[in-house]
Amino acid sequence: MEDIHAMLKSLFGGTIEEMLEAEMEEHLGYDKHSSKGDLSGNSRNGYNKKTLQTQMGKTEIRVPRDRNGEFEPQLIGKYQTKSNNLEHQVIAMYQKGMSTRDIEDHLRDVCGVDASPALISRITDKILPQLTEWQSRPLESIYPIIYFDGIVFKTRKDNQIVNKCVYSVLGIDMDGQKDILGIWISENEGASFWASICSDLKKRGVTDIFIACHDNLKGLSEAINAVFPKTKQQLCIVHQIRNSTKFVSYKERKAICVDLKKIYGAVNLDDAEYAKEEFREKWDKKYPAILRSWDENWAELTTFFGFPSEIRHLIYTTNAVEAYHRMVWKFTKAKAIFPTDDSIRKVVFLSVREITKKWTMPARDWSMAYSQIMIYFADRFVA
């Protein structure tokens, strides 16, 4: 580690000195050792030494000076003793989705700095303490709506390529603002895994969740019932339709979707049950697996019928968290395979920071939805 720190300090110090030399050339109007400097009225006059504090510790640099004492560098001010500029550039590029090799090429081509992917990875490791702090930060006590979903990445494990799923929890708070409450990595989902996530949310201050929306993830319903027993659960209708039409012939898929819409698009639960029986009579002999799945999950598929339209449009699908994951994919698609779980955590965390900057507005029609939530969950609001 001492060697690595020394390399980093040398790297940043050398780069800063090169930039200062370029500033001096711009100030004087001619290159170093150029004959244009003869009798120009000003010239170089050696160097001053300055100790600069970087994120990797103190490093000594040489600051060029001119004979007239007019040179004032912009990169490092006259009385400035700290510089994290280059380190921030590396992390910013990593945050924008560039791979370590892309950053290596960029630094070499633009800054003339030769930094290996391993070195860049160590620079980005500086965000791990921030990630840990973010993952354990206190949360709101009540979330009217929470979404659960996952996104799959490929990573190396024991010299093999395996799939790791990063599960995200997106919450909508009382003001209608969206926030990612945390990210968790697992190869296999199950009741114990989801119970640990729900327990983590509770430890961080969440006392109540009104409605939880998810894609029938294995063991999640049981975990939510165990930790937040009052929470109503809604399975994603869009995912249910996709699963229902997965093995339907292309010619009949459109007709199947039209008849399924009569079920989930019904005005109330009674009409939905009537439409389901009509679907059964028409399609059950040819596609018995479709309604078998709907029957098994009917209670959690129809939760949204118990609420007015202002709330229904927010909970019948997990589109909110899926849209977030699509944005994460844009930031991470340049990285085909991740070397470690920490590398996945870093890039997802940086993506979260970048994406949530734009989440400045409340959920669509939140004022109307909130007024209905106050009515339906009046007894669960904290006085």
* Angle in degrees, 0-180, between the axes of helices 128-135 and 341-356, rounded to the nearest 10: 70
How far apart CA 305 and CA 265 sit, in angstroms, is: 10
Q: Give the pair of three-digit tokens for residue 27.
A: 């100030």
- 137 in any annotated domain: yes
* Angle in degrees, 0-180, between the axes of helices 85-95 and 117-124, rounded to the nearest 10: 90
Q: Read off the amino acid at residue 287.
A: Y
Check residue 8 and give its pLDDT: 53
- 383 in any annotated domain: no
Tell me: do 114 and 225 sit in the same domain: no
340 vs 256, more confident:
256
Check residue 4 and give its pLDDT: 47
Q: What percent of the chain has pLDDT over 90?
A: 45
Segments in 153-217 forming alpha helices (H): 191-203
Tell me: do 154 and 83 sit in the same domain: no
Check residue 60 and give its pLDDT: 79
125, 154, 170 — which closes off a domain?
125
- Average pLDDT for 121-146: 85
- Average pLDDT for 133-150: 94
- Is residue 326's pLDDT more than 80? yes
Check residue 1 and give its pLDDT: 42
Range with the largest mean pLDDT of 30-34, 61-65, 131-135: 131-135
Residue 11 pLDDT class (50, 70, 90 cuts): low
Tell me: do 310 and 199 sit in the same domain: yes
Decide if 40 contacts 33 (C-beta within 8 A).
Answer: no
Tell me: do 209 and 317 sit in the same domain: yes
Residue 55 pLDDT class (50, 70, 90 cuts): low
Check residue 294 and give its pLDDT: 95
- Average pLDDT for 2-30: 66
Tell me: do 92 and 155 sit in the same domain: no
Tell me: do 93 and 145 sit in the same domain: no
- Average pLDDT for 320-334: 86
- 8-12, 99-103, 236-240, 325-329, range with the lowest pLDDT: 8-12
Decide if 10 contacts 59 (C-beta within 8 A).
Answer: yes
* Cα Dmax for the chain: 99
- CA 294 to chain CA centroid, nearest Å: 32
44 vs 112, more confident:
44
- Average pLDDT for 158-186: 92
189-219 confidence digits (pLDDT tens): 677 899 999 999 999 999 999 999 999 888 8
80, 96, 125 — which closes off a domain?
125
Check residue 213 and give its pLDDT: 96
Tell me: do 176 and 234 sit in the same domain: yes
Check residue 135 and give its pLDDT: 94
Placement of tokens 């709330």 in the chain:
311
- 311 in any annotated domain: yes
Q: Which residues pair with 60 in a beta bridge?
A: 51
Tell me: do 88 and 186 sit in the same domain: no
Check residue 81 and give its pLDDT: 58
Residue 129 pLDDT class (50, 70, 90 cuts): confident
Check residue 383 and give its pLDDT: 45
How far apart CA 381 and CA 129 sit, in angstroms, is: 35
- 300 in any annotated domain: yes
- 318 in any annotated domain: yes
In a 3-state reduction of DSSP, which class is residue 328?
helix
DSSP class per residue in 78-120? TT--B--HHHHHHHHHHHTT--HHHHHHHIIIII-----HHHH
Query: What strands lie across the sheet with 178-186, from one edge to the other?
Result: 178-186, 160-172, 142-157, 208-214, 232-235
How far apart CA 328 and CA 332 sit, in angstroms, is: 6
Check residue 256 and give its pLDDT: 94
Tell me: do 243 and 179 sit in the same domain: yes
- 218 in any annotated domain: yes
Decide if 350 contacts 94 (C-beta within 8 A).
Answer: yes
Check residue 122 and give its pLDDT: 62
- Is residue 336's pLDDT more than 80? no
Placement of tokens 């600051």 in the chain:
63
**Count of domains for the chain:** 2
358-370 confidence digits (pLDDT tens): 899 999 889 999 9
251-283 confidence digits (pLDDT tens): 999 999 999 999 999 999 999 999 999 999 999
- Average pLDDT for 228-235: 95
Average pLDDT, the chain: 83
Check residue 65 and give its pLDDT: 86
Which residues span the domain enclosing 107? 2-125
Size of the chain, expressed as the number of residues it contains: 383
Compute φ and ψ for 248, nearest 5 degrees: -85, 140
- Average pLDDT for 279-306: 94
Contacts of 278 (CB under 8 A, 6+ apart): 259, 262
- Average pLDDT for 286-308: 94
How far apart CA 4 and CA 1 sit, in angstroms, is: 5
Tell me: do 49 and 166 sit in the same domain: no
- Average pLDDT for 301-307: 95
Segments in the chain forming alpha helices (H): 2-28, 85-95, 100-106, 117-124, 128-135, 191-203, 220-227, 237-244, 250-264, 269-283, 288-296, 298-301, 309-315, 319-332, 341-356, 366-376
- 176 in any annotated domain: yes
27-54 confidence digits (pLDDT tens): 787 777 777 766 677 888 888 888 876 6
- 45-54, 100-109, 130-139, 355-364, range with the lowest pLDDT: 100-109
Tell me: do 315 and 181 sit in the same domain: yes
Burial group, residue 290, by CB count within 10 angstroms (0-12, 13-18, 19+): buried
Contacts of 110 (CB under 8 A, 6+ apart): none
Tell me: do 60 and 144 sit in the same domain: no
125, 153, 185 — which closes off a domain?
125
Decide if 211 contacts 186 (C-beta within 8 A).
Answer: no
